[in-house]
Amino acid sequence: MRIAYFDAFSGIAGDMTVAALIDAGADAQALFDVLGSLGTGARFRAEKVKRRGIAATHFAVEHEDQKKHRHLPHIVKMIEGSRLSDRAKQNAIKVFETLGAAEAEVHGVPIEKVHFHEVGAVDSICDIAGACQALDLLGVEDVYASRVNTGSGTVEAEHGVMPVPTPATALLLRGAPVYARGPETELTTPTGAAILAALCRGFGPMPAMTIERSGFGAGTRDFPMMANVLRVLVGSRTGAREATAVAVLEANIDDSTPELLGHAMDRLLEAGALDVTLEPVYMKKQRPGVRISVLATPEDQEKMAAVLFEETSTIGVRFWHAERRVQPRTLVEVETAYGRLRMKVTPSGAAPEFEDCRRLAAACGKPVKEIYAAAIAAYRNSQ
């Protein structure tokens, strides 16, 4: 499987996305020919530029000024009538639907009534369609991204001065790890955020991959303190089939009871934590305490923090992002003298599902360890 990893250390915009993919090897002329079938009358240009010493590609859409606003059904019709590939059409429509839902929530109107303003302009239609088609030209099946630099300060928009990230961008990046660094300006646009929100399978460290191509897409402005570029790395997955970003949350607690901490662990697991551990620690003033550690997906980070604040006495939670490797695993059923149960099988071995063992032990009145041993024996005999 070929994947693309967007390194948004200087934010992300629609034109930067298209430019980065062209820089990584997507055929520019083939892309421009397909974009011409959208019927916008636009002309396209890709040129080499430098941003703080980094050679990058800049993508530009040239067209006559158009004052009209477009609604989602009109944009979908344009995409469906174009010569984009089937997958690119599907992805482009998904991006616009995602963007439309965010705009509808911000303005408090049904999605069908959303005027796409700048988003519905020729530039953004070509940026979104171009990004989806370029991904298809490179044979990319899955998209991942780093933490997203949104920028800060304010920006002039059609509705006046807006904070950065703008309301639509903030909604689109809900659940994604974000931060602000560099110039006080908008680094991540709603178009760029919508591409990630609709297509990205995960945020955080780069997944395990063999890099085959890389490219830099330049933003329009050249900042003095950082390269205004979006980097994309394109390659194939390695043998670690599951290489995922995770959020690690920790809190040290010295004023709680074991019962409350046990309940907090249950709540965290019910809320979707991948794992929860408790370990004894010595805190300031030699107080014995407990460190609670939570492993979660990045998009569940804030939900886990909320549970920690609600169910424990901690007044602070620290977190960071890490990466984990998980062996491929399958579930198979085996028949024992006590009934059927599931086995978790990985390249390094097989183990019974403990909850199945406990269920059969309770039903048969046998020790769990006896059910466990019978399951392993049944699996070995089946091989």
pLDDT tens for 304-352 read 999 999 999 999 999 988 877 777 778 889 999 999 999 999 888 899 9
Structure tokens at 76: 């979908």
- Please answer whether residues 20 and 217 qualify as being in contact, where contact means their C-beta atoms are separated by less than 8 angstroms: yes
Characterize 37-51 residue by residue with b for buried, 16 or more Cβ atoms within 10 angstroms of its Cβ, and e for exposed.
ebebebebebeebeb
In the chain, the number of structural domains is: 3
- Residue 308 and residue 368 in one domain: no
Burial code (b: 16+ CB inside 10 Å, e: under 16) for 192-214 equals bbbbbbbbbebbbbbbbbeeebb
DSSP 158: T
Cα gap 299→176, rounded to integer Å? 6
CA distance 257 to 235: 50
| 90/158 same-domain check | yes
Distance, CA of 204 to CA of 177 (rounded, Å): 7
Cα gap 126→14, rounded to integer Å: 9
Cβ count near 302 (within 10 Å):
15
Return the minimum-mean-pLDDT range out of 54-58, 156-160, 271-275, 361-365.
Answer: 156-160
- Tens of pLDDT along 100-110? 899 888 878 77
- Please name the residue that has the structure tokens 């044979």: 139
Q: How confident is the model at residue 300 (pLDDT cuts 50, 70, 90)?
A: confident
Same domain, 304 and 350: no
Whether residues 79 and 158 share a domain: the answer is yes
- Residue 118: the pLDDT is 46
Domain boundary among 280, 305, 326: 326
Are 170 and 100 in a shared domain?
A: yes
Q: pLDDT tens digits, residue range 43-101?
A: 999 999 999 999 999 999 998 776 566 788 889 999 999 999 999 999 999 999 999 89
Is pLDDT of 170 > 90? yes
The reported pLDDT for the residue numbered 183 is: 93
Average pLDDT score over residue span 226-238:
94
- Distance from C-alpha of 145 to C-alpha of 230, rounded to nearest angstrom: 11
Tell which residue, 309, 272, 277, 275, has the closest CA to residue 290.
Answer: 277
Per-residue DSSP letters for 262-314? HHHHHHHHHTT-SEEEEEEEE-GGG-EEEEEEEEE-GGGHHHHHHHHHHHS--
Provide the pLDDT confidence category of residue 115 given band limits of 50, 70 and 90: low
Neighbours of 351 (CB within 10 A): 16
Does residue 352 share a domain with residue 230? Answer: no
Mean pLDDT within 171-186: 92
Distance in angstroms (rounded) separating the CA atoms of residues 295 and 322: 10
Domain boundary among 217, 239, 261: 239
**pLDDT for residue 66:** 62
Predicted pLDDT at 68: 61
Alpha-carbon distance of 167 to 190, in angstroms, equals: 9
Q: How confident is the model at residue 209 (pLDDT cuts 50, 70, 90)?
A: confident
Burial class from Cβ neighbours inside 10 Å (0-12, 13-18, 19+) for residue 310 reads exposed
In Å, how far are 267, 307, 317, 318 from 294, measured between CA atoms? 11, 11, 10, 10
User: Quick one: average pLDDT of 237-261?
Assistant: 83
We report the CATH number of the domain holding residue 292 as: 3.30.70.1380
Q: Mark which of 221, 239, 257 sits at the end of a domain.
A: 239
Average predicted confidence (pLDDT) for the chain: 91
Pairing, β 178-179 against β 148-149: parallel
Verify that 91 and 201 share a domain, yes or no.
yes
Q: Are 168 and 150 in contact (CB under 8 A)?
A: no
pLDDT tens by residue, 31-54: 999 999 999 989 999 999 999 999
Beta-bridge partner residues of 362:
none
Mean pLDDT within 272-281:
95
Q: What is the pTM of this model?
A: 0.68
Average pLDDT over every residue of 25-30: 97
Shared domain for 234 and 375, answered yes or no, is no
Identify the pLDDT of residue 246: 86
- List phi, psi (to 5°) of 177: -75, 125
Residues near 224 by beta carbon (within 8 Å), at least 6 away in sequence: none
With tokens 């303003």, the residue in question is: 117
Please give the pLDDT value at position 67. 58
User: Are 180 and 319 found together in one domain?
Assistant: no
**CA dist 248 to 57, 104, 381, Å?**
36, 33, 40
What is the average pLDDT across 266-277? 94
Q: CB count, 10 Å around CB of 26? A: 28
Are 256 and 220 in the same domain? no
188 plus 263 within the same structural domain = no
Q: Are residues 36 and 176 in the same domain?
A: yes
- Domain span at residue 22? 2-239
What pLDDT is attached to residue 228? 97
* Strand partners for 53: none
